[in-house]
């Protein structure tokens, strides 16, 4: 039986995340997964609410995005809070969430080499749980 997987995408790095989404579709096709709703959010802070909504109607979900290193600790604090909430949502719904967020603390030269691997790993994670 095919799982229906929802996707939450951060739009701050839209071009890169659109590429990640294409790899997710490619990987899902070989894993008997159906990509359901795709929701674009402004940034990482909005990811948990959209995941919560998707998990009510999907078998699993993934999130894709990038949290860059900034001049302050804002990105690190945000990333930790978002990831903690994602863990809580998995337990709340007893459903897998694949994490395809690069960072927190990603520098520009870290992003490109991680796009495909993070995207494919996120969608594979929902099969393995």
pLDDT recorded at residue 74: 76
CATH for 31: 3.40.50.960
Average confidence (pLDDT) over 46-52: 96
Q: What is the pTM of this model?
A: 0.93
Residue of 4 and 44 predicted with greater confidence: 4
The pLDDT value recorded for residue 87 is 96
29: number of Cβ within 10 Å: 12
In DSSP notation, 16-54 reads HHHHHHHHHHHHHHTTTEEEEEEEEESSGGGHHHHHHHH
Q: How many domains does the chain have?
A: 1
Asked whether residue 25 is assigned to any structural domain, the reply reads yes
**Mean of per-residue pLDDT scores for the chain:** 92
Using alpha carbons, select from 88, 94, 89, 97 the residue that is nearest to residue 122.
97
Does residue 5 lie within any of the structural domains?
no
Percent of the chain with pLDDT over 90: 74
**Which residue range forms the structural domain that includes residue 95?**
14-127
């Amino acid at each position: 039986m095919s799982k229906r997987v929802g996707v939450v995408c951060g739009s701050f790095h839209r071009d890169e995340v659109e590429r990640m989404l294409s790899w997710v579709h490619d990987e899902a096709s070989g894993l008997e997964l159906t990509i359901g709703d795709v929701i674009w959010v402004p940034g990482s802070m909005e990811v948990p609410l959209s995941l919560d909504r998707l998990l009510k109607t999907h078998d699993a979900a993934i999130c894709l995005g990038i949290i860059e290193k900034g001049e302050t600790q804002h990105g690190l604090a945000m990333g930790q809070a978002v990831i903690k909430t994602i863990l809580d949502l998995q337990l709340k719904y007893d459903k897998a969430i694949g994490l395809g967020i690069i960072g927190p603390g990603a520098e520009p030269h870290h992003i490109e080499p991680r796009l495909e691997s993070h995207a494919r790993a996120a969608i594979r994670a929902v099969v393995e749980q």
